[in-house]
A and B are shown apart, each in its own frame.
Chain A
Amino acid sequence: MLVLARRLNQSIMIGDDVEIVIVDIKGDQVKLGIKAPRTVSIQRSEILQEIQEENRNAVNTNINPRALDKLGDIFKKKGSSPKK
């Protein structure tokens, strides 16, 4: 991994169209400004990791389809009779 030291308001370029600016530094938090083409997808990495992990959890579901249909029934009851 490349490590660069930067001060407030300094920036780095990634390729020729992505620029990351140090906008603010407070204690252990750094605010970054990112200038990039609209086609570049920017995420906090932990969100992406969480979704990947949740997809894996979802696939490990071993419910049988009949039990799932039963669960669906609870749903219908809920939907069709809002209040008794």
Chain B
Amino acid sequence: MSLLIESKPFGKIEIEERQIIHFANGLFGFEKYSRYAFIEESPDSPFKWLQCLEDKNLAFIVIQPELFTSSYHPIIPPSELKTIKVTKNEDALVMVIVTIPDTDPNLMTANLQGPILINPKELIGGQFISRDETHPVRKLILENNKTPEPV
């Protein structure tokens, strides 16, 4: 079943019911909000959106970490994974939140310390803290692109 929602990036759009992910504990700093739509408007784009259904202005850009960083394995205690009914990271879709500065989008960063895990079968998700303290809160995504390209 599809439904019409208000989104920050795209205005009114139609989504499928199975795009709705329930975050029982919300996201850090936004604990009150629990229902988000996982939006992939451009299937080719690496960037996806988590649009809050309870507040139109609340939308996060997310990306799969393996697209810009290799060997990223967030360490999350099994007791916390249990809250989204998975036993290991591999059972979940792992995404990280992207921050894009208005001044220079090329300096966009991803939050590897606070990954989002989604159980795609149950449509439930959560934001977790990776206990690997080498995972930065602000990891430059286009780091490798900074080397000047030959013209």
Contact = CB atoms under 8 A, between A and B. Distances in A.
Nearest to A41: B80
Interface of A: 38-39, 41, 43, 47-48, 50-59, 61-65, 67-69, 71-72, 74-76, 78-79, 84
Please indicate which of the listed interface residues A52, A53, A71 has the most CB atoms of chain B within 10 Å of its own CB.
A71
A58 B129 CA distance: 17
Q: Which 3 A-B pairs have the closest CB atoms?
A: A52-B29, A72-B45, A51-B114
A68 B61 contact: yes
A55 B28 contact: yes
A61 to B, nearest CB: 5
Nearest to A51: B114
Given A61-B99, A64-B9, A54 B137 contact: yes
Interface of B: 9-10, 27-30, 41-42, 44-47, 57-61, 67-68, 77-80, 97-102, 105-106, 108, 111, 113-114, 127, 129, 133, 137-138, 142, 144-145, 150
A54 B99 contact: yes
Contacts of B41: 65
Contacts of B45: 68-69, 72
Contacts of B113: 47, 50-51
